[in-house]
Amino acid sequence: MPRWSRDGTAWLDELPELIRSSCERWRLTVSGTAVHGSNALVVPVTRADGDFVLRLTPPGPDAVAQVAALRFWNGRGTVHLVDTHRDAMLLERLTPGTSLHTVPTDEAMHILGSTMRRLAIPAPPGVITDVPSTAAAVARRMATMEQEWRHLGRPFPESRLREALEIGARLSQGARPELAVNGDLHSAQVLRATREDWLVVDPVLMRGEIDYDLARTLWTRLDEMPSPARIVRHFDIVVTAAETDRDRSRDWVVFRTADFWLWGLTAGLTDDPQRCARLLATF
């Protein structure tokens, strides 16, 4: 997406040279076809000590934050960061095209919940203090949600907005012990690996409550959950695997779903707001 580059397509135009210089720096040979999402180009590479991938992202705070996240978890449930230089990362090779979207939803929900719990480690003093907190993220969104709701033509009943804001007031207190949190966890972000069965890519390091992003694990697979009973069943699978409080996790699902519904409409999304409507109606 060129929107990630202030210079339009300048970064895209520089990619061939960035790949060449990165391969020269780390003595790499391109060994496969490049793949990409919306934020990065990933090139399979090899060298004398094994197979890796070269990940190139537009420069900016997001790239810096991702390096910090990978260094923090240091391969614990996440892809291992081998080295980095400017906008390039050398990562361990996972298996492209084999995300959790390739396994049944029940299994995926269990793996996602277990991953949430595994990543939820306390940080050494001073390491995570500058990382955004889940409580602060809720407070920040609460300040604009009602205005967005009105501007968007009141897309869902006011009673649901009020419930989300009441829940947000509780979640923003931040009274619970703060742990490391992955703020962007869903099936597409977990790939099959060799070192372990499954590893997270593109983690977003936050601190706070680990069920902050639980709603996303559901709405990204909601098309495979045809009824409210199936949605609740998959919610229970995640909660059990993550060892979180069911009522508190339900609160996170309600708030984050209302939040994402408004954000999605503002961003011009069409399918995701419909999924959010189903999820909110269930909970």
Specify the amino acid at residue 164: A
189, 279, 210, 191: CA torsion to nearest 10: -10
Neighbours of 172 (CB within 10 A): 19
Q: Is 245 a catalytic residue?
A: no
Measured distance CA(210)–CA(178) in Å, rounded: 9
Of 7, 106, 184, 272, which one is the catalytic site residue? Answer: 184
Specify the amino acid at residue 252: W
For residue 256, which of 166, 170, 190, 164 has the smallest C-alpha distance? 164
Measured distance CA(137)–CA(131) in Å, rounded: 11
Measured distance CA(114)–CA(271) in Å, rounded: 28
Neighbours of 93 (CB within 10 A): 20
- Taking CB atoms within 8 Å and a gap of at least 24, the contacts of 58-61 are 58/4, 58/5, 58/11, 58/87, 59/11, 59/86, 59/87, 60/4
Q: How far is CA 167 from the centre of its chain?
A: 22
Question: Coil, strand, or helix at residue 198?
Answer: strand
Report the catalytic residues. Answer: 184
